Chains A and B, each alone.
Chain A
Amino acid sequence: MTAKQEALTEAARLRDIAMAIIVTHVLLVMLLAYLLVYQILNPLRALLLETGRSDPVEVSGDVVQTLSQSVRGLIEDVGQTQVALEKSRENLLHSEKMAMVGKLAAGMAHSVRNPFTSVKMRLFSLSRSLKLSGTQKEDFDVISEEIDHIDTIVQNFLEFSRPPRLKMQAVSPSTVVDTAVKLLCYRLDSYNVKATIHRDRELPAVNADPDQFKEVLVNLVVNACEAMTGGGAIDIHERVLQTSTDRQQAEIRITDDGPGIPPAAVKKVFDPFLHHQGRRHGAGVEHCLPNHPRAWGARRSHLGEGRGTTFTIVLPIIGGNL
């Protein structure tokens, strides 16, 4: 064999090897492409469709980019859900507390009302069998009246712990504010408090129970009056809120220029029957807000430190969440 022949044979072998490698590579590339499309891209697209369920996504573009956007959206959603969950857990805890108060109230009503009944019957017998003078007659009347008074307190306590049946209807918060302020005009005078309504135009209708809503406003205003010894001013601001999620909400802010709520009591404002230095502070707040969450689309409170207290009520406007 000559060296030339040897070289030719070697070249042919190399060519064969090269051909084999090329063919193998082509096959490998095809396999990889198949893997990419069917094992990665298609699942990615499916994932994308899953994650972007709320709004239709353009799948034809950069799949990975779109997917990462979707995932970011998902993470945000999870964050929001967590906040909502936390809130609902708080509500649940509160409901549990209320249920306990209800049980206590019912038990108390039963134990208190039986003795009341006996007392009333004995009084009736006594007043019938005795020849009473004018003042003695008055004594009897006062005792009877006061027993009825105590019973009313028991009844209120019972009702407080039992959420009322709500009569929901479309109503403008402005109408309710007007009714509440009108109702309170004499009381405001007696506390030497001036209430001012700040309103550009009537707020659009919200879904609420007008009576309960009025009760909330009355309680907030009366609480403010009681906190401002020697008089003061209450400002009621009304406006429409445009939230980031394109939701329209009606906001009513009630601000007083009283001493404010002591920091230690702030957390307890929504607890039932809060007394601060002998004065009811939170009872009225509690009386209608968290107790009847169904009446409220939302609630929020800004508690001023030092001077003044502001309570903010936020309710979703009907047809305003588009």
Chain B
Amino acid sequence: VSTILIIDDDDQLRISFERLLKEEGYAVRTAASGEAGIRMIDDAIPDLVLLDVRLPGMSGLEAFKQIHRIESKLPVIIMTAFGTTETAIEATKMGAFDYVIKPFDVPQMLSTIRQALEAGRFMRSPVDMDASPDKIQGEAIIGKSPAMQEVYKAIGRVSATDATVLVRGESGSGKELVARALYQHSARSENPFW
């Protein structure tokens, strides 16, 4: 079960959001301030943080910076009630997963939450390359054919560079796995993957 931490100073919003997400099958924790939220993250790292921009005490942006320092791969969705999205854009540039403007469309928000959780999961679960079937843990790119050997070599060659890579292939051929393998073998593997 994925754990989601909601940091927002509006009491009713926290309660409503918690109820909604629990119905969706997530484990939910809530905090009314950035300071309280960071203490919770220090305690146990959740799978996703929903963070309001305007908070009493520490600002949302400052809270985001600290969360990012604690765990750079923890996806954070920034929420803002202002039409001005400068802070939100700023946070996204610094590595937040996404930002949404309140009041958001609920199904859309749930979909964003699913994507963020998936991105977090991708970063944590390594993609094995050329693993023998009995050794596979989680996901892996398998195959020993010369063509697959070329794919492994290409991933190895390019992942060390700063080049932008376009992964092409038919639907279902495993482009996403290749992309994740590239990320995990790159110098950026400590940074978020989204």
Q: How near does chain B come to A273, taking the closest CB pair, in angstroms?
A: 18
Closest to A120 in B: B103
Q: A125-B23, A151-B103 are in contact. Are A117 and B13 (CB under 8 A)?
A: yes
Q: Which residue of B lies closest to A150 (CB)?
A: B103
Contacts of A115 in B (CB 8 A): 10, 12-13
Chain A residue at minimum C-beta to C-beta distance from B8: A114
Output the least CB separation between B77 and chain A (Å): 13
Q: Let me know if B102 and A113 touch, CB within 8 A.
A: yes
Query: Residues of A contacting B57 with CB < 8 Å?
Result: none
- Cβ–Cβ contact B16 & A109, under 8 A: no
| Distance between Cα atoms of A316 and B16 in the complex (Å) | 55
Q: Among A114, A117, A147, A162, which residue has its beta carbon within 8 angstroms of that of B84? A: A162
The residues of B that contact A118 with a CB separation of less than 8 Å are: 10, 12-13, 15-17
Q: Does B106 contact A (CB under 8 A)?
A: yes
Q: Which listed residue (A110, A119, A120, A159) contacts B81, Cβ 8 A?
A: A110
6 interchain residue pairs of minimum CB distance: A116-B103, A113-B81, A124-B106, A158-B83, A114-B10, A117-B103
How many interface residues does B have (CB within 8 Å)? 21
A117→B84 CA distance, assembly (Å): 17
In the complex, the number of residue pairs spanning A and B with C-beta atoms less than 8 Å apart equals 63
Interface assignment of B20: CB less than 8 Å from any CB of chain A: yes
Binding site for B on A (CB under 8 A): 106, 109-110, 113-122, 124-125, 128, 147, 151, 155, 158-159, 162
Enumerate B1-42 residues with CB–CB distance to A below 8 Å: 8, 10, 12-13, 15-17, 19-20, 23
Q: Does B54 contact A (CB under 8 A)?
A: yes
For A109, what are the chain B residues with a Cβ–Cβ distance below 8 Å?
A: 81-83
Where the two chains meet, the residues of B that have a C-beta atom closer than 8 Å to any C-beta of A are 8, 10, 12-13, 15-17, 19-20, 23, 54, 81-84, 102-107
Chain A residues whose C-beta falls within 8 Å of the C-beta of B81 in the assembled complex: 109-110, 113-114, 117
The secondary-structure label for the interface of chain A is helix
Residues of A within 8 A of B107 (CB): 124
A121 contacts B54, C-beta separation under 8 Å = no
Q: Which of B12, B82, B105 lies in contact with A158, CB distance below 8 A?
A: B82
25 A-B contacts (beta carbon < 8 Å): A106-B84, A110-B54, A110-B81, A113-B81, A113-B102, A114-B12, A114-B13, A114-B102, A115-B10, A116-B102, A116-B103, A117-B16, A118-B12, A120-B103, A121-B19, A121-B20, A122-B16, A124-B106, A125-B20, A125-B23, A155-B83, A158-B84, A159-B83, A162-B83, A162-B84
Are the C-beta atoms of A121 and B84 separated by less than 8 Å?
no
**A140 → B minimal CB distance (Å):** 12
**Which residues of chain A are within 8 angstroms of B19 by Cβ–Cβ distance?**
121, 125
The smallest beta-carbon distance between A111 and chain B, in angstroms, is 8
Within the complex, the shortest CB–CB distance from B3 to chain A, in Å, comes to 19
- Is B83's CB under 8 angstroms from A121's CB? no
Question: Residue among A110, A113, A151 with the most chain B CB within 10 A?
Answer: A113
Query: Closest B-chain residue to A154, C-beta based?
Result: B83
Residues on A with C-beta less than 8 A from B17 are: 117-118, 121
The CA of A120 and the CA of B107, in the complex, are separated in Å by: 10
Docked-complex contact B16 and A121, CB < 8 angstroms? yes
Question: A131 vs B107: C-alpha distance in the bound complex, in angstroms?
Answer: 18
Q: In this complex, what residue of A is CB-closest to B9?
A: A114
Bound CA–CA A106/B103 (angstroms)? 14
Chain A residue with Cβ nearest B79: A117
Q: Which residue of A lies closest to B83 (CB)?
A: A158
Closest to B21 in A: A121
A121-B10 in contact (CB<8A): no
Per the bound structure, the CA–CA distance linking A158 and B81 in Å amounts to 11
Chain B residues near A147 (CB-CB < 8 A): 103
Residues of A contacting B12 in the complex (Cβ-Cβ under 8 angstroms): 114-115, 118
